[in-house]
């Protein structure tokens, strides 16, 4: 796909990978409509910037169908077309399965999975009419392997992988290709602002206290010291420019390491290594 005149709709670009995708794609000549929870803040960040004229920002609540439909409608009013959709917005819930609140687990899926579905559903009539389009879902290596305390984040990203696989087949007849990008750990705002910690695991009498004490700081450090999010932006650009791009693309060291181990080791050996690395003890 040549960038000239093409319109990209992107979710969650205030920080991290989304912000890098936005500026990288604008620099490559794409026009962008960004859907954000805090449009004013993002607009002021862009003010006077190099690519400002190629980027428009609309407010959205991904948990509300009407809000999503309105934001996609505003994009179409402005540009009359949507060539690329990048579903990037997401957050992480840190909780054990036993201690999770219903509201927490529902919200994890409402944003990471159903938000993606709402935006995609609103965009598809346009892409079908155009007879072409590219959809990229930002999943995670945690959409293929599990980690304790991240069950619901894991489950939401496994679901993103599942939807991506069926959507690819469902949309092939319309000339729309669908990919997933599976980042490893990346240094973004994710661990600093967008991880929600369930109150239960922080209680001294939680049966999971010792597990969370060992695991949580290690994972947080891995994220904060992770790869540069610009790598993800480069991977997206490659997908857009190459119609033969792989359907699923791991990006970053952790993703490659975990996914290779998962593929090459049997279940028992794989889990032994993960438990050893994170200091998870059995009775
Ligand atoms: N960092 C990592 O190690 C890592 C690893 C694998 C996968 N990922 C995935 O990569 C994507 C981007 O994350 P990032 O690392 O760039 O993190 P980030 O800096 O926290 O950015 C995530 C963006 O998603 C939007 N967002 C966050 N919480 C939201 C909520 N509750 N409702 C709606 N939108 C929300 C925000 O954009 P607005 O404020 O503009 O709406 C935010 O800027 C996410 O889907 C994440 O799951 C991250």
Residue ranges with strand state E in the chain: 7-11, 31-36, 55-59, 84-87, 92-94, 133-138, 176-183, 195-197, 248-251
Domain range summary for the chain, segments of one domain joined by +? 7-278
pLDDT value of residue 283: 67
Per-residue CA distances from 15 to 34, 42, 45, 51, 107 (Å): 12, 9, 10, 16, 20
Q: Is 62 in the pocket of ligand 1 (CB under 6 A)?
A: yes
Q: Ligand 1, from 160, 194, 226, 258: best to mutate by most atoms within 8 Å of Cβ?
A: 194
Q: Which atom of ligand 1 is nearest to the CA of 223?
A: 3
Q: Is 194 in the pocket of ligand 1 (CB under 6 A)?
A: yes
Cα(4) to centroid(ligand 1), Å = 27
Of all protein residues, whose CA lies closest to atom 17 belonging to ligand 1?
A: 190
Tell which residue, 107, 116, 64, 97, has the closest CA to residue 196.
107
Q: Is 87 in the pocket of ligand 1 (CB under 6 A)?
A: no
Are 67 and 111 a contacting pair, CB within 8 Å?
Answer: no
Are 153 and 105 a contacting pair, CB within 8 Å?
Answer: no
Q: Is 89 in the pocket of ligand 1 (CB under 6 A)?
A: yes
The C-alpha atoms of residue 83 and residue 241 are separated, in whole angstroms, by 12
Residue 274 CB contacts under 8 Å (≥ 6 apart), including other chains: 145, 147, 280
The pLDDT tens digits for 39-83 are 999 999 888 888 888 999 999 999 999 999 999 999 999 999 999
pLDDT value of residue 202: 87
Of all protein residues, whose CA lies closest to atom 31 belonging to ligand 1?
A: 91
Q: Is 10 in the pocket of ligand 1 (CB under 6 A)?
A: no
Rounding to the nearest 10 degrees, give the CA dihedral for residues 30, 178, 188, 104.
Answer: 130
CATH fold label, 7-278: Rossmann fold (3.40.50)
**In the chain, which stretches have pLDDT less than 50?**
none
Cα(151) to centroid(ligand 1), Å = 17
For the question of whether the overall pTM of this predicted structure is more than 0.85, the answer is: yes
The residues that bridge with 33 in the sheet, in sequence order, are 9, 56
Task: Kindly report the three-state secondary structure assignment for every residue of 45-69.
Answer: HHCCCCCHHHEEEEECCCCCHHHHH
Q: What is the CA radius of gyration of the chain?
A: 19
Q: Is 153 in the pocket of ligand 1 (CB under 6 A)?
A: no
Q: Is 38 in the pocket of ligand 1 (CB under 6 A)?
A: yes
Cite the active site residues.
14, 139, 153, 157
Cα(19) to centroid(ligand 1), Å = 10
pLDDT value of residue 280: 87
Longest dimension (CA), the chain: 61
Cα(227) to centroid(ligand 1), Å = 15
């Amino acid at each position: 796909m040549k960038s000239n005149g093409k319109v990209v709709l992107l979710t969650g670009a205030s920080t991290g990978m989304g912000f890098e995708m936005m500026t990288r794609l604008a620099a490559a000549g794409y026009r962008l409509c960004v859907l954000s929870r805090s449009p004013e803040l993002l607009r002021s960040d862009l003010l006077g910037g190099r690519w400002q004229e190629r980027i428009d920002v609309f407010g959205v609540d991904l948990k509300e169908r009407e809000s999503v439909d309105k934001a996609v409608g505003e994009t179409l009013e402005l540009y009359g077309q949507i060539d690329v959709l990048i579903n990037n917005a997401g957050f992480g819930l840190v909780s054990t399965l036993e201690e999770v609140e219903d509201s927490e687990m529902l919200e994890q899926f409402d944003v990471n999975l159903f938000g993606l579905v709402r935006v995609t559903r609103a965009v598809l009539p346009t892409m079908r009419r155009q007879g072409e389009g590219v959809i990229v879902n930002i999943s995670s290596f945690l959409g293929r392997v599990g980690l304790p305390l991240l069950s619901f984040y894991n489950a939401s990203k496994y679901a993103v992988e599942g939807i991506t696989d069926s959507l690819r087949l469902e949309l092939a007849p319309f000339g729309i290709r669908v990919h997933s990008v599976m980042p490893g750990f990346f240094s973004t705002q994710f661990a600093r602002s967008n991880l929600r910690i369930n109150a239960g695991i922080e209680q001294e009498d939680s049966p999971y206290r010792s597990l969370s004490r060992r695991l949580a700081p290690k994972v947080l450090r891995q994220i904060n010291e992770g790869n540069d999010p610009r790598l993800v932006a480069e991977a997206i650009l490659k997908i857009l420019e190459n119609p033969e791009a792989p359907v699923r693309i791991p990006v970053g060291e952790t993703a490659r390491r975990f996914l290779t181990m998962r593929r090459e080791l049997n279940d028992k050996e794989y889990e032994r290594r993960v438990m050893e690395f994170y200091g998870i003890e059995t009775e």
